Amino acid sequence: MEIKQLRTFLAIASTGSVTRAAEMLHIVQPALSRQLRMLEEDLGTPLFERIGHGMQLTPAGQLFVKRAQRAITEMDQAKNEIIAAPKSISGVVTVGLLPSVCDLLAGPLVQHLKGLYPELSVRLLVGYVGYLQDWLERGELDMALLYSHKSSPALEITPLLVEKLYLIGSPKENLDLTKPVPLHDLRDMQFVMPAHPHGLRTLLEQAFSVAGIDMRIASETNSMATQKSLVAHGLGFTVLPGAAVFDDIKHKRLTAAPICDPEINRKIVFATSMAKNASLAVRCVAKAMRMQIAHAVASDAWPGATLIDKN
């Protein structure tokens, strides 16, 4: 049994397709099928059922997913012990960021990496969570920050933090960070919201539904910048995490108040592909990214965020 066979298995489990798994791993389909066949022969049992044009895990395959994920994780952790001179680390690492955290993390992360690894290049892709997870599963990203992620056997997920969501209004609304607004008081407000299938929209609709109130939508947009601009012009309220509006609040372009009874929170996770072999450059960027996030929270640059204790 070889590591590449485990990565092949996890890629097929994630995509449900030999063709898509081959594209994600950048290998030809016959070679991928051969790796799977060798693994199944080694284990002495089928791991997938061939259904139409897709692949579905057998009971044995469902059990083996967890074992394969654990084996890949242990191997990657072992690689983290490799010591290399910073100047020898090079290549291009592609990172996926959510729009709400891009302004907070992008500059400090790239600046930090340039100081440590001059030969390393970082490519940043910004997108909503559904796009980021899809790009990650396709192998187009090396890592990404996600929230409300769909379960995937091909992703290694590390919870990072929980962030509070705030009611956001124009300066004339005089919302106050020290004066929480009960969720029920939002029932008569008009909202500027991201369009479906944005994860934050789904999260808010669920919270409103549980509270027994209807969300009144004034307008929708797929741009967070436009969303904030419409609110700043007094065309409605919105709900966003602190990282998305910290600079706007500082410069009094927007005002904000916590939501209470109940609070609305979301969890941010760090995700990497189990099927894609993580290079030393990727592992260095991942470590630096987690450090920058921890620093942003500890220095209060990420309002309303609380690191998740991993102990």
pLDDT tens, residue by residue, 20-53: 888 888 888 888 889 899 999 999 999 999 887 7
What letter does residue 276 receive in the DSSP assignment? S
Using CA atoms, how far residue 37 sits from 10, 14, 44, 64, 92, in Å, is 14, 17, 10, 15, 33
Average pLDDT over residues 206-224: 93
Instruction: Encode pLDDT of 78-121 as tens digits.
Output: 665 555 556 678 889 999 999 889 989 999 999 999 998 998 99
φ, ψ dihedrals at 218, nearest 5°? -85, -40
> Under CATH, to which class is 162-265 assigned?
alpha beta
91: tokens are 């290549």
Average pLDDT over residues 185-190: 94
Domain boundaries, the chain: 3-79, 86-160+267-301, 162-265
For 70, how many CA atoms within 13 A lie in the half-sphere containing its CB?
A: 5
> Is CATH 3.40.190.10 the classification given to domain 86-160+267-301?
yes
Is 177:258 a contact under the CB 8 Å cutoff? yes
Average pLDDT, the chain: 88
**Among 183, 123, 168, 128, CA closest to 150:** 128
**Among 121, 122, 103, CA closest to 251:** 103
Q: What share of the chain is helix, strand, coil (3-state, %, to 5)?
A: 45, 25, 30
What is the spatial distance between Cα 220 and Cα 231, in angstroms, rounded to a whole number?
11
**Among 95, 194, 111, CA closest to 146:** 95
Using CA atoms, how far residue 260 sits from 206, 243, 291, in Å, is 15, 19, 30
> Is CATH 3.40.50.150 the classification given to domain 3-79?
no
Average pLDDT over residues 129-146: 88
Do the domains 3-79 and 162-265 sit in the same CATH topology, yes or no? no
Percentage above 70 pLDDT, the chain = 93
